[in-house]
Amino acid sequence: MYTRRSLKLGNILFPVLFILALTSCNDEPKYADPEAHEKTTMLNEQYAPLIVGTWYYENTGDKHRFHEQLTFKADGTLTGIRKWQGRSLVTIDGEERFTDWKDVEELNGSFTGTWNLRYGAPDGNERRNCLILYASYDNKEYMAYSYVATFDYANETTLRFKGYYYNDADGWTNYHRGNMEPSF
């Protein structure tokens, strides 16, 4: 049974606890690495709006033809499509020749996943700007991306990061804004 005294104490204690709960909710979050949090915030403010959209990349060599299109959405989701072909150099009757182009079946197709920008050292090495890509192929049991790329920049025409499969002569993968069908 409640007494008059316990009701008065409850009338006082409840508002005090309520105010304490509200004030503790308004405290600024404390980050384990405030510098990384601040740089991640700045990285996203500067580049995330520029990354949103569709980008393509194509790299062709003697033994490979690679085309990829990525669509980055503002909600952090990613869709893409990849076409990859390869061929070998063989010797027939003492003469070197290339085989016909063949699709690299396990690495071709469409995929969906997520992306984000972050500053840090995900592999325990030097801290850097990172573009994090996770994506699985549609109708396949393996990943198209599970990759933390070193991110350089994005602008209205170019998205530049260290590629997983291929990099250009400058050491970066330079995606171009827009839709483009493979040239092969």
pLDDT one-digit tens code per residue, 15-70: 545 554 545 555 667 778 899 999 999 999 999 999 999 999 999 999 999 999 99
Identify the residue whose tokens are 């290339």: 98
| Domain housing 127 | 33-177
Is residue 103 situated within a structural domain?
yes
**Tally of domains within the chain:** 1
Is residue 22 situated within a structural domain?
no
Fill in the DSSP letter of residue 106. G
* pLDDT digit string, tens, across residues 145-157: 999 999 999 999 9
138 and 109 in contact (C-beta within 8 Å)?
Answer: yes
**pTM score of the predicted model:** 0.81
Mean pLDDT of the chain: 89
pLDDT band for 8, please (50, 70, 90 cuts). Answer: low
Helix runs in the chain, H state only: 4-25, 34-51
Q: Which residues contact 169 (CB under 8 A, 6 or more apart)?
A: none
Under DSSP, is residue 21 helix (H, G, I), strand (E, B) or coil? helix
Give the residue among 57, 52, 34, 58 at the shortest CA–CA distance from 119: 34
Which backbone phi and psi does 25 adopt, to 5 degrees?
A: -75, -25
Is residue 122 situated within a structural domain?
yes
